[in-house]
Structure 1
Amino acid sequence: MNPNPQAAAAAADAPPRSHPRAFEPVTLVLTIVLSVLGALIGIVLITTLGVSPNTAVIGALVAMLIGRVPVGVLTRMRSKHRQNLVQSAISGSTFAAANSLLTPIAVPFALGRNDLVWPMLGGAVIGLAVDSWVLYRVFDSTLLPATGSWPAGIAAAETIKAGDTGGRKAAILGVGAVVGFVGALFKLPTGAAGVGFLGNIWALAMFGVGLTVGQYAPDFGYDLGGNHVPHGLMIGAGLVALTQALLLMRTRKGAGAEPGERADVVPGADGGPDADGGRTVHAPQLRRGLLEGMGLFLCGAVVVAVAGGVVGGLSLPALVGWVLLAGVAAIVHQLIVGLAAMHSGWFPAFAVTLIFLIIGLVLHIPTVPLALLVGYTASTGPAFADLGYDFKAGWLLRRDAAPWRPFELEGRRQQYLAQLVGFGVALVVVAVAWKAFFSDGKVPPVAEVYVTTIKTGLEPGTMTTMLLWAIPGALVQLIGGPSRQMGVLLATGLLVATPQAGWMVLGALAVRQLYTVWRRRGIADPRAREESDEQAENDLSLVGAGLVAGSSLNDVGQLTKAL
């Protein structure tokens, strides 16, 4: 007997007693199909336009549309949690295929060493797997909190909620999405404006300053990138950020807790996401996650060294040094990329990889080991950041669950499993398609830049210049502290230097402040002012999420141009 579609839809809308599973037949089939689409979009755009779009909103929209089909089990997709699983998978497959798998194997190919493509693919798979595992272990810690900005995650969550509830919030989000899409059509970085409405004002202000300076410095006759100024700033800021991360791993009583978070809360005790001690990952778990990641990255470096023939070309001390550098580069790369993505929605993966390439040149690492080092480093970071976006989306969608903690942890686990499906699909697509793309001359532009740099070497004094600029980068990061990441965000802005993006971010910050003050007018009671500020933040977060979602839709629409 066929089930009643209306009854099934009502059941789908009801609060679930347990989180939906990633391997439920309908969810799994839809996940695989959309992951193939995401992987193809990723490799086409990374090889033709040099960009990899966030396809999470596309996945959410497709899942919502399928859930509206009044046919038996398809109504299950009306569940916002199942939609979250699907959007996590397609987003993961896009970044995995484009950034974590195809770009690394393009490095030895562009170097003329086709025999190293498959060994490099094996190393990239390890990098991708460890990358996602570490984020799964440390998300919602003091280092990478769920309360962080993660702009693309907010956009995905608000899109799903708007489709689920409609009303005023849907209207605000929809208007923002239309503005974001139309602005992007006219080459305006509306996603940057959306980011300006989300997250820490200090971090975003430094990001906006970096974007603006990076855009206009050439007009005054100074090439920041050519003089490696942003790279030097990132080295200094990154070293301080790494030290701050290590300090957050302390386990002494009271250490590592954020303001307002009780250090005596027992991990696993239930409490809402806004309650004291609401973190799901505490200092001991953060420490274990990062140490496990470091160990696994080192093991992956050994595999790359053996499979890529590095073992036979280096002395034992040089080989040990190469493995240590590769392991450190992988975990530092993922952390810097993740922190930048959390606060700004951009991740400077290319630039941070280039820093380690320059370090390798300074150390006179031979060409082939250096190319493998670069490929292995490049395989980490983007998937780490993307999984953070997706976990943020899930965290927002699960906030009102009761009991909250077990539902949140199980939902995060199911998201991780869904992303693993997306990663597996991406691996199959890349393994099948890379030869056809590369033979047709479609190689990711960043890989060609890496190889050109390896072949041409460094100009005299490059490392000295970078170390000098590392000093102000370290100071800015130190002043801002780990919660603001001001040094990392300043360097990120200088590195990406997207035209007009700085004005978009700074303008959004100005609107944000003015709107908050305007809503406060005539309110004297402190509690009422606080409620007004909160409502202002909620309204502007919806606008920002809409702008990011609209910009992401336009990015995916670039596929027609690429084809």
Structure 2
Amino acid sequence: MSTSPPAPAPERAPAHPRALEPVTLVVTVLLSVLGAVIGLVLITTLGIAPNTSVIGALIAMLIGRVSFAALARMRDPQRQNLVQSAISGSTFAAANSLVTPIAVPFLLGRPGLVWPMLGGAVIGLAVDSWVLYRVFDSRLLPASAAWPAGIAAAETIKAGDEGGRKAKLLGLSAVVGFVGSLFKLPMSAAGVAFLGNIWALLMFGVGLLVAQYAPGLFDVDLAADHVPHGVMIGAGLVALVQAVLLMRDRKGAGRGGKRGAGQPRPADREDGPAPAPASGAAGQDGTAAGSAFAPGTRTVDTRRLRRGLLEGLALFLVGAMLIALTGGVVSDMGGIGLVGWVLLAGVAALVHQLIVGLAAMHSGWFPAFAVTLIFLILGLVLGIPMVPLALLVGYAASTGPAFADVGFDFKAGWLLRKGALPWQPYEMAGRRQQYIAQLVGFAVAILVVVVTWKPFFEDGRVPPVAQVYVDTIKAGLTDSHALTMMALWAIPGALIQLLGGSSRQMGVLLATGLLVATPQAGWLVLAALAVRIGYSRWKTRGGRAAEDTQPQTDADNDLALVGAGLVAGSSLNDVSQIYKAV
């Protein structure tokens, strides 16, 4: 009598290193202090907030080379990823999400409002990161998108772990990026051109070139005429509509669609086949727990995307209400005005984080200052009093950068975990540990800011962008010219965004280029795109068959290393500027 062999036991996901392990936690806290201090010093002196994730990854690698048994655990790329997530989080939290908002009421001559504003900024930071954690790798913010700084961090960690040709190519590119940055060339712009969506980056480059040459060729001041802001408003409004449309569940889930008892919800997919189950165990969102990574598979479905954004809006509204109560908005705006202020502040915080996040996802640049300025101008148009307007601007400014930075770090982790088996349980566990590491970095940043903001501000060291906000608030709108120009230029911005669709974000990236306006960056972006296209064609020209994708894969890997190296070198140069500020 024959018997069939027993079915294999479901494969269990390997345990991901924990962010709160003693050794990892100690290294994380120490490097987070370093990141927060670097961010605080540079934002208040040079006006920049460098990406310190590469620094964190390199230090973690060096620590892992120490022969002491406990420290040797840092050789694990996943632990290095946790550390780099924390240090970059602490840097952007201290510089962009905390110090910049609280400087606004201080410069306005209302130091008593610093603490209420700090409380609101902490809420904005917390909700910012929570929303990204909930919606990362959805149709709106897919892990497969560029997130250039995340690729740079991941490739740095992988090169350090694997060595060989990959390490040499990355190291050479990093040297080129560092040396180019010494000569004031925006090498990070060239780096992201090797990593992102070609159409999005093409519009980014066009925007940079227009911003650089239009004033001389046409004798026009784009910033004074609010042309970039108008383009961003039009593109941003269309991008928000596109985001809402992406929140619809095309398969019917969440719209009354029914499933049988125990039937898993289907995972959202971009393309490609469903991953073949290795053991038959069902994982989250319907993906087989024993499966390998498959291109096009997302870990966040439409229902969670919709819920995450609605949760974020609700929490932002709660934060706005707390600021209104503790910051004295009630005394300046009673009744309907107060309700309107709370609604505007909550919506502004959510819109600000989405626009900044979408721009950062494709280009690696986030125009937080410019988008905040748009809401400032809107507040002036609506006639919001000075103090409530300052608090509105500070609250909006607290969101966005951390949202983008968490996306960069999750992208790095996603790349490092793609080879795990089973993939999805390990990916979700790793993402959760990264989020915990980020929270540790945020906590350290909050403590550093609480201790240092007063001596810094009293010494005259404040973020330059905060001074621009305050000067704009005090000056007000002398005529309707700004409003007219923004309304006029919103039309082409909306049309370009609509033409490119949500996957390319062409309008948002064009506006980002116009707003960033970094000299020579446009030429570097376009040159890098030309090299990218030319190298890909040269690499694939000798392909053995039309369906053979290996040449293109090799080309993509080489280009990713070059781009990551350029971004890493530029980031190292930014961090090295600390000597100018101390």
TM-score, scaled relative to structure 2: 0.92
Q: Equivalents in 2 of 1:507, 1:68: separation in Å?
A: 38
Q: Equivalents in 2 of 1:521, 1:204: separation in Å?
A: 24
Q: Equivalents in 1 of 2:295, 2:531: separation in Å?
A: 31
Q: Indicate if the aligned counterparts of 2:13 and 2:422 stay in contact, CA closer than 8 A.
A: no
Q: Indicate if the aligned counterparts of 2:98 and 2:118 stay in contact, CA closer than 8 A.
A: yes
What's the offset of the Cα at 1:269? 1.8
Which runs of no fewer than 5 residues in structure 1 stay unpaired? 1-14
The correspondence for 2:503, drawn from 462, 483, 487, is 483
Tell me whether 1:165 sits opposite 2:162 in the alignment: yes
Tell me whether 1:76 sits opposite 2:73 in the alignment: yes
Q: Equivalents in 1 of 2:392, 2:491: separation in Å?
A: 26
What's the offset of the Cα at 1:525? 2.3
Q: Equivalents in 1 of 2:334, 2:580: separation in Å?
A: 49
One-letter amino acid of the structure 1 residue matched with residue 498 of structure 2 = L
Tell me whether 1:503 sits opposite 2:523 in the alignment: yes
One-letter amino acid of the structure 1 residue matched with residue 492 of structure 2 = P
Secondary structure at the residue paired with 1:288?
Answer: helix
Deviations 1:44-76 (A, max 9, x none): 000000000000000001100000000121100
How do 1:11-160 and structure 2 match up within 5 A?
Answer: 17-160=14-157
Instruction: Check 1:258–1:278 CA distance in 2 against 1; reply closer, same or farther (3 A cut).
Output: closer
How do 1:219-298 and structure 2 match up within 5 A?
Answer: 219-220=216-217, 221-253=219-251, 259-260=270-271, 267-270=285-288, 274-275=293-294, 278-298=297-317
Mean CA deviation greater in 530-539 or 503-512? 530-539
Secondary structure at the residue paired with 1:50?
Answer: coil
Structure 2 match to 1:8: none
Secondary structure at the residue paired with 1:526?
Answer: coil
The correspondence for 1:210, drawn from 207, 210, 215, is 207
The correspondence for 2:338, drawn from 275, 300, 319, is 319
Instruction: Check 1:462–1:261 CA distance in 2 against 1; reply closer, same or farther (3 A cut).
Output: farther
Which runs of no fewer than 5 residues in structure 2 stay unpaired? 1-11, 254-266, 276-282
Tell me whether 1:519 sits opposite 2:530 in the alignment: no
One-letter amino acid of the structure 2 residue matched with residue 270 of structure 1 = A
Structure 2 match to 1:560: 579
Q: Equivalents in 2 of 1:121, 1:268: separation in Å?
A: 42
Deviations 1:256-289 (A, max 9, x none): 9664268999714237675266100010000000
Q: Equivalents in 2 of 1:290, 1:521: separation in Å?
A: 44
Deviations 1:94-132 (A, max 9, x none): 000000000000000000000000000000000000000
Instruction: Check 1:16–1:137 CA distance in 2 against 1; reply closer, same or farther (3 A cut).
Output: closer
Instruction: Check 1:88–1:250 CA distance in 2 against 1; reply closer, same or farther (3 A cut).
Output: same
Structure 1 match to 2:263: none
Structure 2 match to 1:349: 368
What's the offset of the Cα at 1:523? 4.0
The RMSD of aligned alpha carbons is 1.8
Structure 2 match to 1:4: none
Structure 1 match to 2:407: 388
One-letter amino acid of the structure 2 residue matched with residue 267 of structure 1 = D
Q: Equivalents in 1 of 2:273, 2:90: separation in Å?
A: 38
Structure 1 match to 2:259: none
Q: Indicate if the aligned counterparts of 1:334 and 1:380 stay in contact, CA closer than 8 A.
A: yes
The correspondence for 1:534, drawn from 553, 564, 580, is 553
Instruction: Check 1:24–1:259 CA distance in 2 against 1; reply closer, same or farther (3 A cut).
Output: closer
Structure 2 match to 1:183: 180
Q: Across the two proteins, how many residue pairs are aligned to each other?
A: 548
Tell me whether 1:409 sits opposite 2:407 in the alignment: no
One-letter amino acid of the structure 1 residue matched with residue 251 of structure 2 = K
Structure 1 match to 2:8: none
Q: Equivalents in 2 of 1:524, 1:163: separation in Å?
A: 32
Structure 1 match to 2:256: none
The correspondence for 1:467, drawn from 487, 497, 500, is 487
What's the offset of the Cα at 1:217? 1.4
Q: Indicate if the aligned counterparts of 1:334 and 1:384 stay in contact, CA closer than 8 A.
A: yes
Instruction: Check 1:263–1:248 CA distance in 2 against 1; reply closer, same or farther (3 A cut).
Output: farther
Q: Equivalents in 1 of 2:137, 2:200: separation in Å?
A: 19
Mean CA deviation greater in 213-222 or 377-386? 213-222
What is the percent sequence identity of the aligned residues?
Answer: 72
What's the offset of the Cα at 1:389? 0.4
Q: Indicate if the aligned counterparts of 2:63 and 2:74 stay in contact, CA closer than 8 A.
A: yes
Instruction: Check 1:262–1:534 CA distance in 2 against 1; reply closer, same or farther (3 A cut).
Output: closer
What's the offset of the Cα at 1:292? 0.1
Structure 1 match to 2:358: 339
Q: Indicate if the aligned counterparts of 2:199 and 2:506 stay in contact, CA closer than 8 A.
A: yes
Q: Equivalents in 2 of 1:467, 1:552: separation in Å?
A: 37
What's the offset of the Cα at 1:537? 1.2
One-letter amino acid of the structure 2 residue matched with residue 501 of structure 1 = A
Mean CA deviation greater in 16-25 or 130-139? 16-25
One-letter amino acid of the structure 2 residue matched with residue 462 of structure 1 = A
Deviations 1:180-201 (A, max 9, x none): 0111011111111111101210
Q: Equivalents in 1 of 2:252, 2:140: separation in Å?
A: 16
What's the offset of the Cα at 1:561? 1.2
Q: Equivalents in 2 of 1:549, 1:51: separation in Å?
A: 16
What's the offset of the Cα at 1:464? 1.4
Q: Equivalents in 1 of 2:201, 2:305: separation in Å?
A: 25
Deviations 1:233-268 (A, max 9, x none): 000100110111111111241799664268999714
Q: Indicate if the aligned counterparts of 2:269 and 2:296 stay in contact, CA closer than 8 A.
A: no
Q: Equivalents in 1 of 2:269, 2:507: separation in Å?
A: 20
Q: Indicate if the aligned counterparts of 1:215 and 1:499 stay in contact, CA closer than 8 A.
A: yes
What's the offset of the Cα at 1:458? 1.7
Q: Equivalents in 2 of 1:65, 1:261: separation in Å?
A: 39
Secondary structure at the residue paired with 1:318?
Answer: helix
One-letter amino acid of the structure 1 residue matched with residue 102 of structure 2 = I
TM-score, scaled relative to structure 1: 0.95
The correspondence for 1:429, drawn from 448, 462, 469, is 448
Structure 2 match to 1:379: 398
Deviations 1:314-367 (A, max 9, x none): 121000100000001000000000000010010000000000000000000000
Structure 1 match to 2:473: 454
One-letter amino acid of the structure 2 residue matched with residue 24 of structure 1 = E
Instruction: Check 1:436–1:150 CA distance in 2 against 1; reply closer, same or farther (3 A cut).
Output: same
Q: Indicate if the aligned counterparts of 1:253 and 1:263 stay in contact, CA closer than 8 A.
A: no
